[in-house]
């Protein structure tokens, strides 16, 4: 559509410019010709007048001369004639001629002095008039002239008509030409291209039957046979790879999307897999006149999206993009990813009140600070809780609708937004396999006990067959909370809870990223820090990177304070080290979050003001959402990465940085309060509250020998490869499938 509009506009502009130039040329010529004709005609009238009628003029009888001049004007269709004897004696054929004399006086003087004719055009009350002035060469009339006035308005009118006719002709021509060209492009170009695209898709998918039809364009005929052969070979190779994956599922080897897909087919055995989350994996937004598809910033999406791409299924989530409703079908579904659809996304629509109270209220002002020990007081309101229950019920109904034909679906619920959902689903579909993965920490029983509805939340969660946390530490806290809050039997020997005849397993599943060693190569993205930061007018030798949502749990200000202290203690690194903090603002409608954004900005400005020079500053704050492609060069080029969470479930930024270092260099500085610290043994582990020690860790990272960097990085990369997201999904789903 955009291309069609651009073509139409280009054609109209091009035709318009040609028509404009042609019209200027035509009107100019026509104006010159008409003016010359008027001059010649008036000169001829003057000549005839002087030959036969000067006797009347010489009589100097005003009334006789006026009548004579008037008759001549009428005969030759003139506006009037003025006989100028001298400045005090002028006879006009009609009264209005005296008004014209104001425009003639200069030309009359010039004509008398030069003893020659004079002419000009002038406008009088919006009317174009031509005047021809001829001196009288007789002794009795020395110093006299006769002025002939002709109507020249018709010239202007004819020129205007030329412009109007040409404009209408141009407009019609442009429309016709545009319409014809669009038809030609649509049927002669786009249609064959679309056929070629479908043909290429069929080749990629191995659809040999589709390819056996005639090629979409004649010029592809020579390639037709070869493409079919290549497609068959690719299809056979894919089948062989899947068979190898099937044979390796029981062995200790790297998990890949292909291996997970085979494992899922075996575990699901035809049953439907449904993922439920608040945040959607793909969001559609308006960008000018286009609709753009983006991936929201979320660790949960980073982890879960590769699983759905590998295995298919259905993802139910809240639609939050301003163009989301324009991209779904009548059942609020669409196939994703856009470039290669492999699973279905169903969008749920929250009202403004539901978003305010369910999402911003109970979920993020209540449960989020309750579960994160980051010194922010949780807020609990009855109205928030009521909307939290309602939205959970709505999502439960959506799950039941989508699994109406399947008595034993696999339902994987994501995070703290849906603590009540497991019990709601199990109540209506008791044979469903339901798992809840809690992406954030679980606090100790005393901390969680301040929630007014802790029993309702725990009861809802225990409706699941399996509850997963990132670490065993969080599992223990949850079991202790259940033990102190509900009448339930906690079985510590196998970490399960038995309540009302239903058993819930509670297990740690450290989540990870889609990493198989073949996925990352930083050679393309790696750049010299000075070159990468040149567009920000920063010249530096070393670079650090941090990637966080701007959240009070991420320790961004503590990170900045450590950088400030590092530069105070090590002045030689001033103008040599810049830390790039990529921060995506989130939940800014909540005051604590909007205040946090301001605090982060102010702290960065304060520290920069303290140290910066002309072409350098210590902190570059990039405060907007960045895609994975935009972040990749920073991951690949940085000397170190800092993750300083004050309390975190896992934090996948640490793993993304390690995965991006294919040359096994660089250093990870990691908070002991992030779940990733239990796996990333090669990182420098810090307490982000200890500013001095964190500052020393920055110096140690920058000065660490390359051999030690590589030893640590290889250790961490191997850990992620062995425990990637495909392994995580297989382990979790195997555990679900084993529950009876």
Can the peptide bond before residue 116 be classed as cis, meaning omega within 30 degrees of 0?
no
What would the pLDDT profile of 426-461 be if each residue is shown by its tens digit? 999 999 999 999 999 999 999 999 999 999 999 999
Domains 261-513+732-736 and 529-723 share a fold: yes
Lowest mean pLDDT segment, chosen from 102-116, 178-192, 270-284, 605-619:
178-192
Tell me the two tokens of residue 614. 């002309």
Q: What is the DSSP letter of 285?
A: E
How many residues can be counted in the chain?
740
Answer yes or no: is pLDDT of 724 > 70: yes
d(CA 736, CA 726): 15
Which has more confidence, 2 or 556? 556
Binning pLDDT at 50, 70 and 90, where does residue 644 land? very high
Q: Which sign, positive or negative, has the C-alpha torsion 723, 724, 726, 728? A: positive
Which range in 98-102, 120-124, 290-294, 644-648 is most confidently predicted, on average pLDDT? 644-648
Res 240: pLDDT: 45
Q: What is the DSSP letter of 678?
A: G
466-469 vs 433-437, strand pairing mode:
parallel
d(CA 266, CA 632): 35
For residue 425, give every residue at least 6 positions away whose Cβ sits within 8 Å of its Cβ, in sequence order, or none.
Answer: 396, 399, 400, 411, 432, 434, 463
Q: In the chain, where are the structural domains located?
A: 24-158, 211-248, 261-513+732-736, 529-723
Which of 164, 178, 302, 180 is closest to 652 using CA atoms?
A: 302
Binning pLDDT at 50, 70 and 90, where does residue 631 land? very high
- By percentage, how much of the chain surpasses pLDDT 70? 86
Mean pLDDT of 174-200: 69
d(CA 356, CA 354): 5
Q: Which CATH class is domain 24-158?
A: alpha beta
Q: Which residue has the tokens 């969001």?
A: 283
Answer yes or no: is pLDDT of 523 > 70: no
d(CA 545, CA 656): 12
Residue 307 backbone dihedrals phi, psi, to 5 degrees = -65, -45
Exposed, middle or buried: residue 452 (CB in 10 Å: 0-12, 13-18, 19+)? exposed
Using only the alpha carbons of the chain, give its radius of gyration: 43
d(CA 479, CA 489): 10
What would the pLDDT profile of 389-427 be if each residue is shown by its tens digit? 999 999 999 999 999 988 899 999 999 999 999 999 999
What would the pLDDT profile of 16-55 be if each residue is shown by its tens digit? 777 777 778 777 888 888 888 888 888 888 887 777 667 6
Exposure class string for 716-738: b at 16+ Cβ within 10 A, else e: bbebbbebbbbbbbbbbbebbbe
Mean pLDDT of 70-98: 82
Tell me the two tokens of residue 733. 């789903």
Which range in 86-95, 262-271, 663-672 is most confidently predicted, on average pLDDT? 663-672
For residue 234, give every residue at least 6 positions away whose Cβ sits within 8 Å of its Cβ, in sequence order, or none.
Answer: 206
Lowest mean pLDDT segment, chosen from 127-141, 490-504, 553-567:
127-141
In whole numbers, what is the pLDDT of the chain averaged over residues?
86
496-499 vs 489-491, strand pairing mode:
antiparallel
| Cβ-contact 135, 111 below 8 angstroms | yes
Which of 609, 604, 706 is closest to 665 using CA atoms?
A: 706
Which range in 118-122, 306-310, 356-360, 661-665 is most confidently predicted, on average pLDDT? 356-360
640-643 vs 542-550, strand pairing mode:
parallel
Lowest mean pLDDT segment, chosen from 176-180, 258-262, 404-408:
176-180
Answer yes or no: is pLDDT of 239 > 70: no
- SS3 of 324-365: HHHCCCCCCEEEECCCCCCEEEEEECCCHHHHHHHHHHHHHH
d(CA 399, CA 618): 50
Which has more confidence, 504 or 245? 504
Please write down the long-range contacts of 110-119, taking CB distance under 8 Å and 24 or more positions apart: 111/135, 111/145, 112/143, 112/145, 117/43, 117/46, 119/39, 119/42
Q: What is the DSSP letter of 278?
A: S
Tell me the two tokens of residue 589. 């409608």
Binning pLDDT at 50, 70 and 90, where does residue 250 land? very low
pTM for the full model?
Answer: 0.68
| Cβ-contact 403, 272 below 8 angstroms | yes
Res 73: pLDDT: 81
CA–CA distance from 2 to each of 8, 9, 173, 292 (Å)? 10, 11, 22, 14
- By percentage, how much of the chain surpasses pLDDT 90? 52
Binning pLDDT at 50, 70 and 90, where does residue 262 land? confident
For residue 167, give every residue at least 6 positions away whose Cβ sits within 8 Å of its Cβ, in sequence order, or none.
Answer: 19, 23
Mean pLDDT of 312-316: 93
d(CA 105, CA 122): 13
Answer yes or no: is pLDDT of 517 > 70: no
Lowest mean pLDDT segment, chosen from 2-6, 140-144, 561-565:
2-6
d(CA 146, CA 136): 7
Superfamily of domain 261-513+732-736: Glycogen Phosphorylase B; (3.40.50.2000)
Torsion of CA 732, 734, 739, 740, to 10 degrees: 150
| Cβ-contact 552, 525 below 8 angstroms | no
Tell me the two tokens of residue 183. 């038809």
CATH number of 529-723: 3.40.50.2000
d(CA 5, CA 406): 47
Res 321: pLDDT: 92
Exposed, middle or buried: residue 311 (CB in 10 Å: 0-12, 13-18, 19+)? buried
Binning pLDDT at 50, 70 and 90, where does residue 264 land? confident
Lowest mean pLDDT segment, chosen from 61-75, 198-212, 373-387:
198-212
Q: How far apart are the first and last CA of the chain?
A: 54
Res 97: pLDDT: 83
Lowest mean pLDDT segment, chosen from 91-100, 244-253, 557-566:
244-253
Which has more confidence, 10 or 107? 107
What would the pLDDT profile of 89-146 be if each residue is shown by its tens digit? 787 878 888 888 888 888 888 888 888 888 888 888 888 888 898 888 776 677 788 8
- For residue 522, the SS3 value is coil
Binning pLDDT at 50, 70 and 90, where does residue 77 land? confident
């Amino acid at each position: 559509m955009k291309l069609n509009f651009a073509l139409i506009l280009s054609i109209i502009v091009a035709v318009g410019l040609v028509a404009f130039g042609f019209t200027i040329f035509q009107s100019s010529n026509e104006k010159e010709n008409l003016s010359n004709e008027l001059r010649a005609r008036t000169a001829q009238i003057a000549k005839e007048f002087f030959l036969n009628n000067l006797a009347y003029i010489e009589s100097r009888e005003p009334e006789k001369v006026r009548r004579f001049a008037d008759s001549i004007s009428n005969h030759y269709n003139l506006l009037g004639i003025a006989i100028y004897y001298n400045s005090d004696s002028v006879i006009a054929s009609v009264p209005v001629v005296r008004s014209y004399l104001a425009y003639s006086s200069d030309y009359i003087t010039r004509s008398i002095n030069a003893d020659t004719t004079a002419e000009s055009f002038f406008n009088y009350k919006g009317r174009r008039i031509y005047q021809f002035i001829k001196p009288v060469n007789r002794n009795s009339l020395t110093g006299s002239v006769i002025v002939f006035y002709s109507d020249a308005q018709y010239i202007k009118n004819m020129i205007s008509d030329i412009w109007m006719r040409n404009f209408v002709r141009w407009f019609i021509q442009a429309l016709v030409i545009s319409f014809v060209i669009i038809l030609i492009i649509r049927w002669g170009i786009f249609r064959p291209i679309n056929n070629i695209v479908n043909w290429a898709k069929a080749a990629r998918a191995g659809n040999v039957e589709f390819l056996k039809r005639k090629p979409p364009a004649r010029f592809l005929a020579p390639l037709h046979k070869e493409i079919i052969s290549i497609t068959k070979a690719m299809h056979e190779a894919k089948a062989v790879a899947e068979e190898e994956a099937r044979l390796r599922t029981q062995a200790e080897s790297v998990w890949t999307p292909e291996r997970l897909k085979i494992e899922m087919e075996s575990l699901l055995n035809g049953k439907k897999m449904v993922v439920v989350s608040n945040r959607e994996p793909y969001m559609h937004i308006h960008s000018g006149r286009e609709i753009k598809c983006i991936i929201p910033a979320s660790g949960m999406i980073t982890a879960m999206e590769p699983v759905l791409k590998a295995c298919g299924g259905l993802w139910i989530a809240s639609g939050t993009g301003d163009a989301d409703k324009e991209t779904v079908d009548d059942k609020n579904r669409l196939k994703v990813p856009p470039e290669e659809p492999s699973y279905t996304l169903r969008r749920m629509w929250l009202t403004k009140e539901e978003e305010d109270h369910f999402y911003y209220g109970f979920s993020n002002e209540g449960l989020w600070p309750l579960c994160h020990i980051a010194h922010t007081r949780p807020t609990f309101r009855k109205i928030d809780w009521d909307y939290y229950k309602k939205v959970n019920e709505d999502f439960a109904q959506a799950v039941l609708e989508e699994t109406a034909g399947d008595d034993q679906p696999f339902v994987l619920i994501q995070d703290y937004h849906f603590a009540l959902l497991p019990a709601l689903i199990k109540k209506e579909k008791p044979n469903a396999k339901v798992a809840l993965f809690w992406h954030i920490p679980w606090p100790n029983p005393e901390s969680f006990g301040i929630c007014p509805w802790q029993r309702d939340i725990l009861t809802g969660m225990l409706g699941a067959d399996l509850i997963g946390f990132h670490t065993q530490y969080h599992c223990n806290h949850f079991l202790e909370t259940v033990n102190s809050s509900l009448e339930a039997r906690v079985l510590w020997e196998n970490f399960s809870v038995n309540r009302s005849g239903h058993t819930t397993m509670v297990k740690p599943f450290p989540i990870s990223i889609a990493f198989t060693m073949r996925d990352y190569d930083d050679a393309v993205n790696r750049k010299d820090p000075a070159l990468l930061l040149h567009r920000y007018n920063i010249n530096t030798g070393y670079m650090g990177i941090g990637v966080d949502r701007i959240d009070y749990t991420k320790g961004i200000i503590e990170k900045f304070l450590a950088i400030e202290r590092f530069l105070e203690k090590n002045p030689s690194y001033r103008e040599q080290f810049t830390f790039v903090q990529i921060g995506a603002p989130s939940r800014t409608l909540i005051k604590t979050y909007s205040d946090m954004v301001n605090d982060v900005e102010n702290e960065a400005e304060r520290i920069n003001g303290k140290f910066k020079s002309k072409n350098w500053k210590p902190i570059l704050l990039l405060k907007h959402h960045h895609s994975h492609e935009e972040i990749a060069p920073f991951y690949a080029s940085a000397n170190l990465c800092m993750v300083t969470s004050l309390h975190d479930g896992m934090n996948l930024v640490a793993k993304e940085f390690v995965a991006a270092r294919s040359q096994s260099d660089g250093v990870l500085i990691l908070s002991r309060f992030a779940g990733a610290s239990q796996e990333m043994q090669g990182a420098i582990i810090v307490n982000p509250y200890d500013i001095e020690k964190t500052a020393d860790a920055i110096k140690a990272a920058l000065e660490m020998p390359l051999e030690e960097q590589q030893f640590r990085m290889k250790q961490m990369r191997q850990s992620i490869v062995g425990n990637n997201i495909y392994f995580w999904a297989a382990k979790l789903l195997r555990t679900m499938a084993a529950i009876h």
